[in-house]
Amino acid sequence: MAKESGLAWTTASVDDSGDSLRAIINDITNLTFSVPRGIQDVTGMDKSAMERLLLLADFSIELTGVFNDASNVSHDVFKTVSSTSVARTTTLVVSGRTLTNEVFYTDYAHTRAATGEYTWSAPGVLATGVVPTWS
């Protein structure tokens, strides 16, 4: 395994509300995701340093992209976020490593900048309780 830049992304796909996986990597300009673990402080009064337990795993993501209303791309995927309550398979592949999660997207926000750019963002959170695991 070698160090790499973030240029090796091959897949960023999200299900539309009809459960069809759509490749939207060409519309995404930026993404942030996290796979945190909860922590419980169990430090007793007899300790001089912190004592903790690891708790549940989680996943969150925020996708940002350029507006594209062609068929089966980003706008088709996210336009139903406000009207449907479905988990969407989200698949990321970089350098041959895959991270797939079932995600509830909670917003589909649009920005029209003063300079004319028209972009969107879509935050999501883990839906199923399945531990996020790279393969």
One-letter identity of residue 94: V
- 119, β-bridge pairs: 66, 111
Residue position matching structure tokens 């594209």: 68
pTM of the model: 0.89
Report the 10 Å Cβ neighbour count for 63. Answer: 27
Read off the tokens for 128. 């199923």
Q: Does domain 9-41+50-126 have CATH number 2.40.30?
A: yes
Torsion on CA atoms 83, 35, 32, 119, rounded to nearest 10: 0
Distance CA 124, CA 35 (A): 12
Task: Express each pLDDT in 19-71 by its tens digit.
Answer: 999 999 999 999 999 999 999 999 999 999 999 999 999 999 999 999 999 99
Domain spans of the chain? 9-41+50-126
- What local confidence, expressed as pLDDT, does residue 1 receive? 62
Distance CA 24, CA 74 (A): 6
Read off the tokens for 109. 């926000």
- Whether 8 has a pLDDT exceeding 80, the answer reads no
